[in-house]
């Protein structure tokens, strides 16, 4: 309901709004570049139970505390696939948000268990980049990503290849 002579408020702010951009493009990556990714994530019981049950991952180490303790753990173990997904998730804005689907993961190793209450962080290094005639407008970038816990110990590492959009598409 704009008054006569006044700018329609919606039109006004939409005209002035500048996109606050996110992510990187293919040209931003150079082999050897290192990213220390944002946020970190404390993995709590709810995260772990939800993820494990939604994915039907029926190993009681991830949802039965007495069972996990009977196997020498201080408490419930965080499902390693949740550790992978969380570390991966925190890398996306820096690495692949401006991109296409990810193509593959190689040499993924779980180095030590993560327990409920542990916090994970993600670091990545660019290990390769190339263009591909199959995917015009995109390049393929490969990274080595490490997931670290609150004590700086590596809990997971893997290599990932992804399509990343080029700037002048």
Partner 1 sequence: MTTLRTSELTGNDNYFEDFRPGAVFRHARGKTVEAIDNVQITNLVMNTAEGHFNEDAMRKQGGIFDRRVCFGGVSIALVVGLAAQDTAENALAELGMDKIRLKEPVFHGDTLYACSQVLAVEDGEREDAGVVTFHHWGLNQDDKVVFEGERRVLIKRRSHWADN
Residue 52 CA to its chain's centroid (Å): 18
Cβ atoms within 10 Å of 64's Cβ, excluding its own: 12
Question: What's the Cα-to-Cα distance from 58 to each of 52, 71, 82, rounded to whole Å?
Answer: 8, 16, 14
Closest distance to partner 1 from the beta carbon of 168 (Å): 16
Q: Using CB under 8 A as the criterion, what x/- string covers residues 11-50 for binding partner 1? A: -----------x----------------x-x-----x--x
Among 84, 123, 140, 145, binds partner 1 (CB under 8 A): 84
CB of 4 to partner 1, least distance (A): 33
Measured from the CB atom, the residue of 80 and 139 that comes closer to partner 1 is: 80
State the nearest-atom distance from the C-beta of 68 to partner 1, in Å. Answer: 10
> Which three-class secondary structure state does DSSP give residue 72?
coil
Rounded CA separation 7/72 (Å): 67
Of the two residues 18 and 56, which places its CB atom closer to partner 1 in the complex? 56
The answer to whether 136 and 153 have CB atoms below 8 angstroms apart is no
59: contact with partner 1 by CB under 8 A:
yes
* Coil, strand or helix at 27: helix
Among 2, 7, 31, 108, binds partner 1 (CB under 8 A): 108
């Amino acid at each position: 309901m704009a008054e006569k002579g006044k700018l329609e408020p919606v039109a006004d702010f939409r005209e002035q709004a500048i996109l606050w951009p996110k992510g990187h493009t293919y040209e931003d990556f150079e082999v050897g570049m290192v990213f220390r990714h944002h946020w970190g994530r404390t993995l709590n019981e709810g995260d772990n139970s939800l993820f494990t049950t939604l994915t039907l991952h029926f190993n009681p180490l991830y949802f039965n505390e007495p069972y996990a303790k009977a196997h020498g753990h201080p408490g419930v173990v965080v499902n390693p696939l949740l550790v992978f997904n969380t570390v991966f998730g925190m890398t996306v804005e820096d690495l692949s948000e401006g991109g296409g689907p990810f193509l593959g993961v190689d040499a993924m190793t779980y180095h030590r268990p993560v327990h409920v209450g542990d916090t994970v962080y993600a670091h990545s290094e660019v290990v390769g980049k190339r263009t591909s005639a199959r995917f015009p407008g995109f390049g393929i970038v490969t990274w080595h990503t490490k997931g670290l816990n609150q004590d700086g110990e590596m809990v997971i590492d893997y290599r990932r290849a992804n399509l990343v959009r080029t700037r002048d598409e």
